[in-house]
């Protein structure tokens, strides 16, 4: 049983490393993005990566309460994407 938990910790740590790299690359796109749409997509991706980080952290800490945090973060991210899309549609029609 402890061998399985040790393997799970190693895999989860590797996932955190990959997510950290993805976060750095996405942050570079956020800074360099030539248009507002590029920056908004980068922000959406950053929030999605954070949901992944929270999920992996829930696995590492073996606390399921973090999954609730990830769900709330995903819902807020979705609502912000809908709000931005509405802003883009209404802003172009005026």
Per-residue pLDDT at 93 exceeds 70: no
Burial class (CB in 10 A: 0-12, 13-18, 19+), 31: exposed
Per-residue pLDDT at 65 exceeds 80: yes
Instruction: Express each pLDDT in 1-50 by its tens digit.
Output: 688 888 989 999 999 999 999 999 999 999 998 988 889 899 999 999 99
Cα separation, 27 vs 29, in Å, equals: 5
pLDDT at 3: 83
- Kindly report the pTM of this predicted structure: 0.85
**73 or 90: which carries more pLDDT confidence?**
73
């Amino acid at each position: 049983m402890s061998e399985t938990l040790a393997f799970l910790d190693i895999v989860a740590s590797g996932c955190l490393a990959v997510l950290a790299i993805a976060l750095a690359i996405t942050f570079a796109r956020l800074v360099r993005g030539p248009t507002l749409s590029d920056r908004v997509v980068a922000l959406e991706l950053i929030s999605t990566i954070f949901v992944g980080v929270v999920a992996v952290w829930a696995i590492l800490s073996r606390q399921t309460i973090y999954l609730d945090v990830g769900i709330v973060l995903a819902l807020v991210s979705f609502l912000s994407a809908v709000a931005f899309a509405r802003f883009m549609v209404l802003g172009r029609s005026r």
